[in-house]
Amino acid sequence: MTAQKREARAVDASPVRGDSPAITGAGMTAFANADDRSLLELLLVAAERALDDADRDPAGVDSVHVGNMAAEAFNERSGLANALVGGLGMTGVTARRIENTSASGASAFQSAVAAVASGRSDRALAVGGEKMSAADTATATEIISRITHDREYEQGVTLPSFGGLAAAAYLRGSDADRRDLARVAVKNHANASSNEYAQFRKRIAVDDVLASPAVAEPLRLYDCCPTSDGAAAVLIESGPAESDDAVRVAACESATGTHAVADRADPLEIESVRTAGERAYDAAGFGADAVDIACIHDAFTILEWLEMEELGLAPAGRAWELTRDGETDLDGALPVNPGGGLKARGHPLGATGISQVIELVWQLRGDLPDERAVDGAARGLAVNVAGFGNNAVCTLLEGDA
Partner 1 sequence: MTDLLECRDCGHRTYYEKHRCLECGGAEFDAVPAGNGELLSVTTVHVTPEGVREPNALGLAAFPGGANVVAQLDEELSIGDEVRLVGDRELRVTEDGPLWGVRIAAAE
> Which residues of this protein are in contact with partner 1, per CB under 8 A?
138, 141-142, 145, 149-152, 154-158, 160-162, 164-169, 172, 213-219, 258-265, 267
Q: What's the min distance (Å) between Cβ of 353 and partner 1?
A: 25
**Measured distance between the N- and C-terminal CA atoms of the chain, rounded to whole angstroms:** 30
Distance CA 192, CA 345 (A): 6
Distance CA 314, CA 336 (A): 11
Q: What's the min distance (Å) between Cβ of 214 and partner 1?
A: 5
Element (H, E) at 381: strand 379-386
Kindly tell me which of 58 and 267 has the beta carbon lying closer to partner 1: 267
Kindly tell me which of 218 and 353 has the beta carbon lying closer to partner 1: 218
What are the two backbone dihedrals, phi and then psi, of residue 230, each rounded to the nearest 5 degrees?
165, 165
CB contact set of 349 (below 8 Å; sequence gap of 6+)? 68, 69, 70, 101, 102, 104, 105, 130, 132
Q: What's the min distance (Å) between Cβ of 5 and partner 1?
A: 23
Alpha carbon 163 to its chain centroid, in Å, reads 18
Kindly tell me which of 162 and 281 has the beta carbon lying closer to partner 1: 162
Q: What's the min distance (Å) between Cβ of 246 and partner 1?
A: 42
DSSP SS3 for 227: coil
Q: What's the min distance (Å) between Cβ of 390 and partner 1?
A: 13
Q: What's the min distance (Å) between Cβ of 141 and partner 1?
A: 5
Q: What's the min distance (Å) between Cβ of 54 and partner 1?
A: 41
Kindly tell me which of 200 and 388 has the beta carbon lying closer to partner 1: 388
DSSP strands (E only) in 94-183:
94-98, 123-131
Distance CA 23, CA 126 (A): 10
CB 271 within 8 A of CB 394: no
Kindly tell me which of 82 and 256 has the beta carbon lying closer to partner 1: 256
Distance CA 377, CA 297 (A): 20
Q: C-alpha angle 99/78/234, rounded to 5°? A: 55
CB 110 within 8 A of CB 249: no
Kindly tell me which of 104 and 161 has the beta carbon lying closer to partner 1: 161
Kindly tell me which of 154 and 196 has the beta carbon lying closer to partner 1: 154
Kindly tell me which of 16 and 138 has the beta carbon lying closer to partner 1: 138
Q: What is the DSSP string of 241-281?
A: PSSTT-EEEEEEEEEE--SSGGGSSSTT--HHHHHHHHHHH
Q: What's the min distance (Å) between Cβ of 228 and partner 1?
A: 17
Q: What's the min distance (Å) between Cβ of 392 and partner 1?
A: 17
By residue count, the chain amounts to: 401
Kindly tell me which of 49 and 220 has the beta carbon lying closer to partner 1: 220
Helix axes 349-365 and 104-117, enclosed angle (nearest 10) = 60
